[in-house]
Structure 1
Amino acid sequence: MPTRPDPITYLDHAAEAGRGYKRRLLDALDLRPDHTALDVGCGPGTDLPAMAERAGAVIGVDLDPAMVGEAERRTAGLPVEVRQGDAHALPVDDRSVDRVRVDRVLHLVADPSAVLAEVRRVLRPGGRAVLAQPDWETLAVDPGAVATNLAFTRFVCDRIVPNPVVGRQLARLAGAAGLTVVEVDGEVLLLRDFTTADEIFGLTRNAHRAVRAGRLTRPAADAWLADLAAGPFLAAFTLFRVVVSAG
């Protein structure tokens, strides 16, 4: 039975697969030496050193104590402070940061709108936030039966990911939270390696979950996974990016 990988290893591998879009997120933040920047849901600190190269001070916030500890280890000696806290109630003062980064966090939280309201609260007037979210309904893979792909994606959206389509909702939710939407764009992330995609998207482990839930038959799941592993393999996934500012 496939198991979920170690969370820190998983996040590191996902970051490696998304190097290109992460560079573009960093550029969109437009960090400067006089800025204080905040990374909401910083995980093991993967992106904090790159932010610290451009900003004068960086704050990372994560709910998981293990992530906080790893982020502190990775940023030792840098102008970075890592704090344990909930994205719905950030341990950050009102109007105290110039830039906020929220990357692939909102699909996991209880209330994305509340998190965006917190982003609005902590940003200084004229400050900027960059939000990035995938849309899980757009996950498409090849080869394999299309009907099984669709049933798998539907199961993941129904049962695995709390807010699977928040990516397409980002601009609207940010505006409702009092942020000014400056830019909206998207890109398709492509993976050609089945092993990497299997880890990041949980193709095998979630197909097995779908079988146990009665959403896929065992023969259909086994045939689909065998086709994907045999390849040539392709996975596509749409990621939305929204740049916002605080008035």
Structure 2
Amino acid sequence: MSEDGATSTINDSVESLIKMLDAADSLPGVARLRARSYELLRPAPGAAVVDVGCGTGRAVAEMSDGGARAIGVDVSEQMVTVAKRRRPDLDVRLGGAYALPLEDGEVVGYRADKVYHALDDPARALAEATRVLAPGGRVVLMGQDWDTFVIDSDDSALTRTIVHARADVVPSPRAARRYRNLLLDAGFEDLSVEVHTAIFTDSLMLPMLSGIAQVARSAGAISEDETERWTTEQTIRGQEGRLFCALPLFVAAASRP
């Protein structure tokens, strides 16, 4: 493949991800969960907050519109480009969770939504959060536990195999259940943990379900026949309005001493 072809493939992949994220972020329950994360941050008007793994900047825009001085950081140059194109007024920067482009104590709020499961060392990212947070600053971590996807199926054993096989290829699949202990280990105080469960009963989640089955197949956990059989069942369920997929999302909040 030519260099231009490789770039086009990457761009197409990111564009597909953006479309999926836009659709998910527009759901009422997801919007309410974002609003809850802003409440837990408790930023004063004009206070600086950072959204780590900001993607296309939806949360950065919402926090900015709410009066905070929001800063977005994402490791993907393409995501940063899209965020700036959508809202040129936003402060969105290129950077990773282990080395944020911020000064010591620069922000009073730190938000990371569906980020820590993608990191091989969540504790290191939280140490960086401690560095950039001012004393008394707030941290909010949000995300799903990849071992606790609840999916109805005629073959529960196969479903368990698929879910666990998908979890096993995530760098830190159980980071969400560790949020509280990670925060305790890092010395944070005033801890709280909430769970908000998103339930899907139509075809919206079919691309995700098909995706986890394909990952399980690629990992050698299930056969091609099992992949097709399970995906077909879920597709029929989605078409008939009988699909059931529940994703528990954990929200942990704490204060820096």
Q: How far apart are the structure 1 equivalents of 2:127 and 2:190?
A: 14
1:61-89: CA deviation from partner (whole Å, max 9, x where unpaired): 11111111111122223xx3111111101
Structure-1 residue corresponding to 2:9 = none
Structure-1 residue corresponding to 2:205 = 197
1:1-36: CA deviation from partner (whole Å, max 9, x where unpaired): xx9672222222232242232222122222321311
1:98-124: CA deviation from partner (whole Å, max 9, x where unpaired): 111111100112211111111111111
Q: State the one-letter code of the partner of 2:39.
A: D
| 8 Å Cα contact 2:105-2:135 kept in structure 1 | yes
Q: How far apart are the structure 2 equivalents of 1:181 and 1:228?
A: 42
Normalised to the residue count of structure 2, the TM-score between the two structures is 0.87
Structure-2 residue corresponding to 1:119 = 129
| 8 Å Cα contact 1:32-1:54 kept in structure 2 | no
Cα 1:209–1:184, aligned 2, differ >3 Å: closer, same or farther?
Answer: closer
Normalised to the residue count of structure 1, the TM-score between the two structures is 0.90
2:31 is equivalent to residue 25 of structure 1: no
* Structure that is richer in strand per residue: 1
Q: How far apart are the structure 1 equivalents of 2:254 and 2:86?
A: 29
Cα root mean square deviation, aligned: 1.8
Instruction: Select the structure with the greater relative contact order (CA < 8 A; seq sep ≥ 6).
Output: 1
Aligned length: 239
2:78 is equivalent to residue 66 of structure 1: yes
* 1:1-247 superposed matches below 5 A: 6-17=16-27, 18-77=30-89, 80-159=90-169, 161-194=170-203, 196-199=204-207, 202-231=208-237, 232-247=242-257
Q: How far apart are the structure 2 equivalents of 1:107 and 1:218?
A: 27
Q: How far apart are the structure 2 equivalents of 1:106 and 1:150?
A: 23
Q: State the one-letter code of the partner of 1:47.
A: A
| 8 Å Cα contact 2:196-2:248 kept in structure 1 | yes
Partner of 2:117, secondary structure, is coil
* Structure that is richer in helix per residue: 2
Q: State the one-letter code of the partner of 1:213.
A: A
- What runs of 5+ residues in structure 2 fail to find an aligned partner? 1-11
Cα 1:31–1:141, aligned 2, differ >3 Å: closer, same or farther?
Answer: same
| 8 Å Cα contact 1:31-1:54 kept in structure 2 | no
Q: How far apart are the structure 1 equivalents of 2:183 and 2:232?
A: 41
